[in-house]
Structure 1
């Protein structure tokens, strides 16, 4: 704008001179006038072009790289921090924050309509707590390489998996039943606008636990590309059933979501396959899984990540049998126990992805108007007895508060109690046993 002001002043002064000069010199100043006007036009054009270019770049950035504002934050080694998050705060301890931006930590209220319900019989759990940093985890197998790591100052352990044309990562999950659920956390670093459109995590359900695809499988590809919304590719194959019936891309924009440590939830009910990322359901296919109880194994495969620049980590893998409908059990038996309500470590903060179970309990109470419930919390044996007793009571109260404040259940219909570590159902010396013992019971009164 300063340049335009100077041009206007120049033109105004020029015309005053022209008016005051005798006619003998008028022709000379007419030529000067034309030159000045052309110079002014060129300056204005350049200014407009510059402003237009800036606006165009902003529009393109908003399309190709939504949410970008200024320089991407980096960690102490100069690597991009996913989603601009604090490099010293990469754990899931902020799940109950008030942030509600796309891909960021979500509140319980955001998850209030989340309808995923985890299985109630634990088959496998691994947070790598018993593995040494730098080792490949003891409860997994691979034909490639990988290691347990921590990120910056967080104590959370992750399995770093590497890309490879035929590299698989296979957890030691027992043979999968007909009805089961899968959950895990993802952390991706080093992603930018150059990340490939084929950079994906393949979550595969297979007829064998070898490093080959096998005669039957179904998989979903979670995309990490940043310059375009690639969508989730889904595919199945059954050699005996005639090959592949499903090979499609489900439209989804996960660019921001994958930058902010998403939680993946999968439910398999016979042939039906559903997948949620954070609180949103992206895939629901009625006949995705090959028929005939052929699928027995879970595998992970990483596609076209740039080695040394783009990294992918997995943690908190949980596989459980069931996942159907806790409502029928509660109505029929008058009690139900679940380890699917998760809390932040050592606290009573409910992790929002657990809200599917609490939602089902609220639906029972809304239907059965005369039913009252006692909510009982249980912990594992880590820590001292008194602290665990207090923690179990606080967790039961947190579940009650969610039923009252989120689903409008009358508080007078709910009582709470805590048993601490006094009533274990699993072995407190193992990771799986501890996960079974961290549970919440609902008992009809």
Structure 2
């Protein structure tokens, strides 16, 4: 079969991709070899003759149009040497950002956030007093993040063309924890984004990421502890493993919860955890999978959050985390608004540099709607605030637009009458913390609700 210009173009692009890639991508392209060339020729010929199916066209377009996403591999490969230097603005679900006034985003790294309506019954409410936040924006690509410690290894990377930074963990039983986080209070929340690289149907059934709550700020698990392991395997539905331990009684809970989160893991998921006294709840995106009223052992004094990954193929599979947040609170904001007449929260999140609400903000907005539904006489002013990144005038406009977006969600999703809601923006003019670092900026990016 004579090769036409379309075949030549395909072969040329494939060759350039092979030269430009490294690691797992290069190995994948090499494996295609002669069969890939022949398949490309056949596909192009069918396309020229206009007999190819829509799916074949899409597959071909992913080769002919660099940068297009393949539906078979929605999570982009990590590029450890890409986008180095300077602060990167997160594109995943982040209450924090580093460059420009991104003011925080949350969502999947590949497929984008789900609709606000899907999250309309999402009842997770993040803590409103920030204890720790890291989006790795202050770390250099290729380095282990400065705020963390490990007994293994890891490095800060980016995925595809996104500037968002991730901690790429290593295979084996490496532990990652934050040495300087304050001791955990009675009520607190933990959030982070998770992405995977190289995970497929051959991934081990033991592949998982585990969140430990521990009494020790070391690599040991002495004293009381509680942990939940989140599966990442794909070839069947796996379970979340729930375990707790006390030195006197051993484990009182040693059980598994079935959780089909395979697609969420491939797409990139947001993990939310709420601890209120002894009660422990865990959500993957908008779905709650764990709710145990007495999971935290009695008389425990937890001081640290530790992460470890397990069951990964070396050099093939990676689990990555970003936008790691620990916050005090996560309690009922409705009572506080009614009793004090005002609340301020940094748990309402937006797309980077815009007023697009991120779905995981709906837990707080839902509680506000319940206050308004309970008392039809209440009117509220919604006030937006930003950090000081960017121009003051742009921040002022952004804060006003974000307040309006919250109002619109209350009206369109929860059927609150718009004449009960006023909006205002203060831009960067009323900071509550220093704007010098990630924690301070996260505190300054907030939304207030004030009874009128």
The reply to whether TM is greater than 0.5 is yes
1:135-191 deviation line (CA, Å, top 9, x unaligned): 1111111111111111121100001111223x2100232111110000000010111
1:247 CA drift (Å): 0.6
**Residue 391 (structure 2) aligns with:** 384
Unpaired stretches in structure 1, ≥5 consecutive residues: 1-69
TM (normalized to structure 1)?
0.78
Q: 1:85 aligns with which of 70, 74, 89?
A: 74
**Within-5 A mapping of 1:268-279:** 268-279=275-286
**Within-5 A mapping of 1:322-337:** 322-337=329-344
Residues in 1 aligned to 2:345 and 2:243: alpha-carbon distance in whole angstroms: 32
User: Is the 8 Å Cα contact of residues 88 and 154 (structure 1) preserved in structure 2?
Assistant: no
**Within-5 A mapping of 1:22-421:** 84-85=73-74, 87=76, 91-92=91-92, 105-165=113-173, 167-171=174-178, 172-240=180-248, 242-421=249-428
User: Is the 8 Å Cα contact of residues 383 and 425 (structure 2) preserved in structure 1?
Assistant: yes
Report the 3-state secondary structure (helix = DSSP H, G, I; strand = E; otherwise coil) of the residue aligned with 1:113: coil
1:194-246 deviation line (CA, Å, top 9, x unaligned): 10000010111011111111121111110011111011111000113x11010
Residues in 2 aligned to 1:218 and 1:86: alpha-carbon distance in whole angstroms: 30
Distance 1:93 1:119, change over 3 A: closer
Work out whether 1:439 is the aligned partner of 2:446.
yes
Report the 3-state secondary structure (helix = DSSP H, G, I; strand = E; otherwise coil) of the residue aligned with 2:127: coil
Residues in 1 aligned to 2:301 and 2:441: alpha-carbon distance in whole angstroms: 31
Residues in 2 aligned to 1:402 and 1:254: alpha-carbon distance in whole angstroms: 27
User: Is the 8 Å Cα contact of residues 83 and 259 (structure 1) preserved in structure 2?
Assistant: no
User: Is the 8 Å Cα contact of residues 178 and 293 (structure 1) preserved in structure 2?
Assistant: no
User: Is the 8 Å Cα contact of residues 74 and 266 (structure 2) preserved in structure 1?
Assistant: no
Report the 3-state secondary structure (helix = DSSP H, G, I; strand = E; otherwise coil) of the residue aligned with 2:441: helix
Residues in 2 aligned to 1:184 and 1:437: alpha-carbon distance in whole angstroms: 20
Residues in 2 aligned to 1:298 and 1:402: alpha-carbon distance in whole angstroms: 33
Residues in 2 aligned to 1:424 and 1:282: alpha-carbon distance in whole angstroms: 37
User: Is the 8 Å Cα contact of residues 395 and 428 (structure 2) preserved in structure 1?
Assistant: yes
Report the 3-state secondary structure (helix = DSSP H, G, I; strand = E; otherwise coil) of the residue aligned with 1:399: helix
User: Is the 8 Å Cα contact of residues 88 and 153 (structure 1) preserved in structure 2?
Assistant: no
Residues in 2 aligned to 1:301 and 1:323: alpha-carbon distance in whole angstroms: 24
Residues in 2 aligned to 1:198 and 1:86: alpha-carbon distance in whole angstroms: 21
Distance 1:199 1:429, change over 3 A: same
TM (normalized to structure 2)?
0.77
1:308-347 deviation line (CA, Å, top 9, x unaligned): 1011110001110010100000000000000000111111
Residues in 2 aligned to 1:88 and 1:191: alpha-carbon distance in whole angstroms: 11
Residues in 2 aligned to 1:377 and 1:198: alpha-carbon distance in whole angstroms: 44
1:86 CA drift (Å): 7.0
Aligned Cα root-mean-square deviation (Å): 2.5
Report the 3-state secondary structure (helix = DSSP H, G, I; strand = E; otherwise coil) of the residue aligned with 2:348: coil
Residues in 2 aligned to 1:244 and 1:297: alpha-carbon distance in whole angstroms: 19
1:239-275 deviation line (CA, Å, top 9, x unaligned): 13x1101011101111111101100000000110000
**Residue 27 (structure 1) aligns with:** none
1:293 CA drift (Å): 3.7
Report the 3-state secondary structure (helix = DSSP H, G, I; strand = E; otherwise coil) of the residue aligned with 1:330: helix
User: Is the 8 Å Cα contact of residues 305 and 311 (structure 1) preserved in structure 2?
Assistant: yes
Report the 3-state secondary structure (helix = DSSP H, G, I; strand = E; otherwise coil) of the residue aligned with 1:382: coil
1:107-136 deviation line (CA, Å, top 9, x unaligned): 100000000000111100110111111111
